Chains A and B, each alone.
Chain A
Amino acid sequence: MKLLLIEDEKALATSIQSYFQRENFICEWAPDYENAIEKINIYRYDCVLVDLMLPDGDGLDAVRELKRKYPETGIIIISAKNSLDDRIAGLNLGSDDYLTKPFHLSELNARVQAVIRRRNFQGNQQVRFGKITIDPQEHSVSVENQEIILTRKEYDLLMYLIANKNRVLTKESIAEHLWGDDADLMDNFDFIYTHIKNLRKKLMDKGCPDYLRSLYGVGYKFSEQ
């Protein structure tokens, strides 16, 4: 998978780059508009991450250019601008998602994977992890062909864990993924624990090994080892 990151903040860009490199993605970086256009014209990418405010241009123009050349490329806008107008303008131009800064890298990762899945396989691709098979279109989950009935939150949680497999996920990032702005309603994160416990139980009841490791005080890690 090949990504292009258009972002003027070097420190943020390197974090994002190294995060995706661990995922075995090739992540190229364009620090400004000129570079971005050059790269877009030379290479083909599966997904492009665009910051709207660039030192020498508007990220929306880059989105326009990209849409014209390679309409099948996935586009995610990452911006500090949070106004509704910018969101609507971005989505109208054909970007697939809009993420407001600051964001969790794990959230960005989950969104990039969702976009690539939708783009490459028209959303028909099954997601597999160990003994777990997920059909994203049907929202159905099965362990060795036995279907498991999950609640909406449990399903979202499982998708998020699989998208960020082999990584430490903080409680805040999970809470924000599942509840969005309501995440700050939770005075403690016992709440996530309830969902984790239920999900783990449902998976293990069907003979799935325990993939979930809890790191005390920090968060969780989903891995096959």
Chain B
Amino acid sequence: MKLLGRILQYQIITSLCVLTLGAGLFFLSVRYLIDEEVNKELLRSKAKVSWQLRHIDTLPVYILQLGDSLQLQAVPYPGRMLLRERNLLNTSENERQPYRELVFYERVEGQWYRVTISQLLAQRQQLMKAVVMTVTFIVALLLVSLLLLNSWLSERLWRPFYKTLRALDNYQLEKHEVLEFSRTKTLEFEQLNLSLTRFTERLAGTYQNLKEFTENASHEIQTPLAVILSKIEGLFQDETLKENQLLALSEVSEAANRLARLNQALLLLTKIENRQFLAGNEPVNLQPIIGRKLRDLEDLIEQRKISIKTDLEPTGPVMHPALAEVLVNNLLTNAIRYNVEDGSIFISLVPGKLVVRNTGNVTQINPELMFERFRKESTNSASLGLGLALAKTICQVNGQTLTYETEENLHVLTVSW
């Protein structure tokens, strides 16, 4: 939910509470005032009626006819004066309406009378209506103005914030970008932008250092390795070497070669993790890559008598073309390496999915563990144990998923995008 939306939510809830409470208090206070007024009026009537009753012998009879609102009833003894509210039938409108009554006792010519004066409280109902209508109107007005204010705020005041957000969204470290923002009048946004600029400056610097370190490490390790390998090769040409010396030399050569390959693979892995291979915008068609790779591996496949079945459509994920090559290469070589004699490989490429299914040994290892670096099935294999780790990393940085499942003797690697 947008920040302004949330603010609006709280504003609406608070306004509704305040308004309800305010309306209630308003209603009560107005009612109190009106009641007071009615009471005063009733008491004034009482004084008048009392006086009239006391002088009834000297006044004309019709004076006392106050209609419905005055009732006289003879009672044996007086009671307390009281003020009360009752719903009575209004004969003129023929419905029950609230009345306020004043009941008191008066002695006329030795006889006690109970006198009841009633006053219709019609104003109160009108008041209720007025309060409800006013409050509803205020609420509506408030809501409309809040909405207008919010949209205006987000349009004007929050504009730099959303600009910053968009810039961050599009930020790519690999481009060594430093985010620069135009100045804003709001102090907080200005601070945010400044911190972000400094932050991205540091990031770009650190990233550059890391990249340089990787490159330098590559150079520093490759050069001594090149020396070692070249010296070994020179020694091989020495005709005076005995057979056992040649054999030892051959083992040194193998180990040095392996070290060289390991270094290359680790460097590639580091480079991919540092996201030095940016995906373009165009999907890479994997079909020709798979075809080419299968031709390259033809003799290996023939030698192990592996049968290949393919079902390829011209499609592929969005990634750096060099990485697509590495990915296909690692998946296919993995399928060949861990295959069995007379085994088979089935490759299917459909939009959104590349599946490589190969026969192999039944394994108890959790297939997901195969993605760990240096994980190997046997220690004497020439494999570096980095192939699937590389494939996994490539998929991770490009937003694809790579899964490994086993069904009986079938090993299934799936890339989905």
Contact = CB atoms under 8 A, between A and B. Distances in A.
Interface stretch (A8-16, A34-42, A142-150): A8-16
Given A12-B223, A12-B227, A184-B384, 12 more contacts: A11-B231, A53-B219, A80-B226, A102-B222, A102-B230, A104-B229, A179-B296, A182-B300, A185-B382, A187-B337, A191-B299, A218-B250
A219 to B, nearest CB: 7
B215 interface: yes
Contact of A187 (B246, B381, B384): B381
Interface stretch (B93-101, B254-262, B354-362): B254-262
A11 B297 CA distance: 36
Interface of B is mostly: helix
Q: Which among B237, B329, B333 has the highest number of chain A CB atoms within 10 Å? A: B237
Interface residues of B, number: 47
Interface in A172-199: 172-173, 176, 179, 181-182, 184-188, 191, 194-195
A217 B245 CA distance: 11
B417 interface: no
A153 to B, nearest CB: 6
A105 B230 contact: yes
Contacts of B370: none
Interface string B223-248: 10111111101101100000100110
Contacts of A19: 230, 233-234, 237
Contacts of B218: 80-82
A170 B253 contact: yes
B310 interface: no
A184 B261 contact: yes
A118 B36 CA distance: 118
B345 interface: no
The 10 closest A-B pairs by CB, nearest first: A15-B230, A102-B226, A80-B222, A80-B219, A168-B236, A101-B226, A102-B225, A101-B222, A11-B227, A105-B233
A43 interface: no
B234 A217 contact: no
Contact of B230 (A16, A80, A182, A216): A16
Nearest to A167: B237
Interface in B246-284: 246-247, 249-250, 253-254, 256-258, 260-261, 264, 267, 271, 276
Interface string B397-414: 000000000000000000
B303 interface: yes
A129 interface: no
A179 B219 CA distance: 24
A104 B250 CA distance: 13
Of the four ranges (under 10, 10 to 19, 20 to 34, 35 or more), the interface on chain A belongs to: 35 or more
B300 A15 contact: no
Q: Which among B215, B229, B336, B380 has the highest number of chain A CB atoms within 10 Å? A: B229
Contact of A15 (B223, B234, B246, B257): B234
Contacts of A215: 246
B233 A106 contact: yes
A21 B222 CA distance: 24
B82 interface: no
A103 interface: yes
Interface of A: 9, 11-12, 15-16, 18-19, 22, 53, 80-84, 100-106, 151, 153, 167-168, 170, 172-173, 176, 179, 181-182, 184-188, 191, 194-195, 215-219
A225 to B, nearest CB: 12
A100 B246 CA distance: 26
26 contacts: A11-B230, A12-B226, A15-B234, A16-B230, A80-B223, A82-B267, A101-B223, A103-B229, A105-B230, A168-B236, A179-B296, A184-B383, A184-B384, A185-B333, A187-B337, A187-B380, A187-B383, A188-B382, A191-B299, A194-B299, A215-B246, A216-B243, A217-B246, A217-B247, A218-B236, A218-B246
A184 B382 contact: yes
Contacts of B230: 11-12, 15-16, 19, 102, 105
Contacts of B256: 102
Nearest to A52: B219
B322 interface: yes
Contact of A101 (B225, B329, B333, B383): B225
Interface in B331-365: 333, 336-337
B382 A172 contact: no
Contacts of A80: 218-219, 222-223, 226
Q: Which among B223, B258, B271, B380 has the highest number of chain A CB atoms within 10 Å? A: B223
Contact of A153 (B247, B299, B381): B299
Nearest to B222: A80
A82 B264 contact: yes
Contacts of A195: 299
A101 B261 CA distance: 11
A103 B246 CA distance: 20
A191 B300 contact: yes
B261 A170 contact: no
Contacts of A184: 258, 261, 382-384
Nearest to A10: B227
A172 B251 CA distance: 11
A177 to B, nearest CB: 13
